[in-house]
Structure 1
């Protein structure tokens, strides 16, 4: 096995408008605009590569200038980029409007191209070889449900750990037929409620609810509240340290997933890996970008000193 993680999922363009004053629905709001490459899987892949892991990425992409920007960003981050390029299609995009404090007002996803990443593409010789070369696999719910199920089956066949990012309450249902094939699913509380078909009255209740839904491991975030992680019958809860100011919430969940996976790659238990995820998410919340562009292991180690130890549940 020659690579640490094979990443399959979203790699597209993120556009974010941030309102400068109080949000006024139904009216023109002054603000600022940023456009950059993003996507759940891609955000996590860039963070993992900057932390020193060997990352390969397979994603669908359009044959346009936006697709070229995504490819350039992947190369800049040190990722082994292996896209499926559809020359006659547009690269997917995600547009978000944020309040002054960085919280999401509304998002709009133009993701039709991802539907073309069908299960049969996993049969391509180069893709089969990538699975065999990888120590583990990371996906996100931008891919179609049938493709995610096929990826889970391939990972199980090769005995490769499989982690997944929920992306949104609307898309987390793409994992419905393969929940038992996921080793870890990274979710926020709204996404967890969709998977569990129930709402936890306290963060500590999520492990039991998600186990009953068929999930064997996962991490659930609650905004600035406690983060809960579980694997099998073990579970941990951790209160993230307060942040002085949040620049942008975009990508924080993807960074948390990357931090946890980085810790696990260093043979830490899930409780300690969770600390790495919280530290990296905090760094991302302080950044105006969806990833921390100057991230390295030393920066993460410094941030980790501010993160408390988790408690077992």
Structure 2
């Protein structure tokens, strides 16, 4: 791959998903099982990019607890250079969800308080400044405070480095509001695009126009099983993902798409090709029970791309 490191700053935490085995009994004990893995939009992207052959460095807040060790182990397994801000007396951020037998969410709790301590002041530390100087590209997500997201985007732009954003959720994507003009690309789903623009177009082909008006120069809007839309200064394209009979877990699919797209962009691929790479990476992710597929690697991605149709230009 191209020389230099991809610097990733943002969410790296632990996801816990409890699945109820039978019919849900509200207010009572329910038989079920737990699944625990490392997660976070930025961290998922970091691990995917590493598996695609890039040198990746991660900077994220972490507590001095067992959850922090889970994140550290996942970074090591994926070949990510792990350089956290560690707060020994704090808990590592976590997301805990209870899911019904049919996959519907019952309730979830997001303990993300530690991310508030990743202030813009942290970017002034010598090690962080050096990491920006050495990086070929920056990736961040909306788990961080709005002022920190804006500072990261501004620092990347002042250093002449492309900076990519991951929206995370409708509630959090607005943290990119003051950074949109500095971003090289923002990845979001339709709900996040609605939250960012404050509107819902009758025709999804209008997303490029609306997001450009909001200040973005390049963006990708995913739409579940419907066609994804990507745009940049040269135009806009759409691409429908292939239908799959068997799905593992859609967790991490959007982060995988962002990773495939970023990887292609960094080697100079045009918009349509980058979207195709992103959709192929997402296909690998949804066939896996994990948020980051262990089997992801460049050769597999190349084979899966052959299953993805060409992107169509939007007028």
- TM-score range normalised by the length of the shorter chain: over 0.9
The Cα shift of 1:296 comes to: 1.1
Aligned to 1:59: 60
In structure 2, the partner of 1:191 is 192
Q: CA offset at residue 2 of structure 1?
A: 5.7
Alignment of 1:17-96 (within 5 A): 17-20=18-21, 30-96=31-97
Per-residue CA shift, 1:25-84, capped at 9, x if unaligned?
Answer: 777665432101111000011011011101011000001111011111101111111100
2:144 equivalent to 1:143: yes
Give TM-score, length-normalised by structure 1: 0.95
Distance 1:16 1:312, change over 3 A: same
User: How big is each residue's C-alpha offset from its partner over 1:214-258, in whole Å with a ceiling of 9 and x where there is no partner?
Assistant: 111110011111100011251110000001122211111111101
User: What's the secondary structure of 1:170's corresponding residue?
Assistant: helix
Moved more, 100-109 or 112-121: 100-109
Within a 5 Å distance, the mapping from 1:208-223 to structure 2 comes to 208-223=209-224
Segments of structure 1 that go 5 or more residues without pairing to the other structure are none
Asked if 1:303 is matched to 2:308, the reply is no
Q: Report how many residues are paired.
A: 313
Offset, 1:304: 1.1
Q: Distance in 2 between matches of 1:293 and 1:155?
A: 30
Whole-angstrom CA distance in 2 between matches of 1:106 and 1:54: 37
Could you tell which deviates more after superposition, 97-106 or 62-71? 97-106
Matched residue of 1:242: which SS?
coil
1:284 deviates by 0.9
Q: Distance in 1 between matches of 2:188 and 2:136?
A: 23
Q: CA offset at residue 185 of structure 1?
A: 0.5
**CA root-mean-square deviation:** 1.8
Contact 1:101 1:246 in 2 (8 A): no
Shift of 1:23: 6.4
Secondary structure at the aligned position of 2:6 is classed as strand
Q: TM-score, normalised by structure 2?
A: 0.94
Aligned to 1:229: 230
> For residues 98-149 of structure 1, what are the alpha-carbon distances to aligned partners after superposition, in whole Å with 9 as ceiling and x for unaligned?
4556565554211000000000110000000000000110000000001111
Check 1:286–1:97 CA distance in 2 against 1; reply closer, same or farther (3 A cut): farther
Instruction: Tell me if structure 2 keeps the 8 A contact 1:102–1:247.
Output: no
Report whether the alignment pairs 1:125 with 2:126: yes
Q: Deviations over 1:143-175 (max 9, x none)?
A: 000111111110111111110000001111111
Structure 2: give runs of 5+ residues left out of the alignment: none
Q: 2: CA distance between counterparts of 1:57 and 1:136?
A: 12
Aligned partners of 2:235 and 2:98: how far apart in 1? 38
What is the Cα deviation at residue 19 of structure 1? Answer: 4.3
For residues 18 and 273 of structure 2, the distance between their equivalents in structure 1, rounded to whole angstroms, comes to 35
SS, match of residue 293 in structure 1: coil
Partner Cα separation in structure 2 for residue 41 and residue 213 of structure 1: 23
Deviation of 1:295 (Å) = 1.6
CA–CA distance in structure 1, aligned partners of residues 312 and 148 of structure 2: 36
| SS of equivalent to 1:177 | helix
Which residue of the partner structure matches residue 176 of structure 2? 175
| Mapped partners of 1:103, 1:207: distance in 2 | 31
> Are the structure 2 counterparts of residues 101 and 264 from structure 1 closer, same or farther at C-alpha, using a change threshold of 3 Å?
farther
CA shift for structure 1 position 21: 5.7
In 1, Cα distance between the equivalents of 2:198 and 2:222? 17
